[in-house]
Structure 1
């Protein structure tokens, strides 16, 4: 069974199916955090005001949850990037042949968090950038690691950081993250938005995504924002 469909099964079925591997998966996830250097290149954006960043790193539920907990992030949305408008829906993207990646659009205030800091969070705790066309239990090009840059400065900063991480040999394998221009971001269906926060007892979330938020709190205490603050920001 394809895991993208496996994620949507009832809680009871998931609990039974994951009972044998949940403990080892969660234990492995808890040890996946990587201490990374700060980006050597991280200038202030040329234009004032809020900025947008788009990242892809496996199932968008977990990536969105991580960035929702970053101070300075105004909002994060799950969606699709890399393909065309007519295939930007969950059923088609899940087939793996649309060119889309499950992605997250991050609206942030650069006065509180820089693009370079978002990159550090992305590469440290949001996903494993050495996994090619997969992430954890999910397989397919729609789960690839990618940065969709919105302007030349983002391309420069992201490219420099990828090169910096490679030169520092911080991972046991090469970084496979794609760096591609953002042509369009398509919002995912409503039930995908805030999925992790609204379904914390879902076994998929508990095993694969909650540990990412816990690692964010552990590695980035100055950037971490608790759930209560996330709700307050959304209500503004």
Structure 2
């Protein structure tokens, strides 16, 4: 059972150089990802006036987030595992692949990276407002809640299949691009309904900078539940429990 592998972690882990380096890597990668993803939406809106709510804007957002996540995961993979997402970290935690203490440090780093990215965008664009996530007309909070659960389940399931599974073999070399692809595909599927966050950090930065928190809980609860379920399902059903669990996700 995955629950047997869950670990809180020792206090000294919080100040260990490797843990601090990993948290810094998560901060930088999340900053890179959010700056490129959020910035692409702001740039498209400035150029066309339509923003990401148009078909062309949705495609642009999907491509920008897919490319940016591919890079963000790749550059942090050898240091922190390249989570770049509190939901991925939570999914890794419930599967016993990272301690709770290390997870909390990752979450802090990811949220700070997103917030700093949005502040930098506001500064660099002369005060343009970062676009916070919101529900489309006719979409209820429960519709959005289900969307975010399912999309994040697909994302974290992909992370497990291509990066965490000890049997992945050479498949691990394409993990970053597979993860980027599933995020891009999910944006095409759910972007017109919820904005397709799948990532509490990505939602947190724009909400903090624009101070817009309407229905914000959806972008935390949905991804965390979806990520947690994916971690439990994949670890319990598909990973041979005789394998020794890793201290953190590695690509």
Q: Same fold (TM over 0.5)?
A: no
- Structure showing the higher strand proportion among its residues: 1
Higher helix share: 2
How high is the TM-score relative to the length of structure 2?
Answer: 0.28
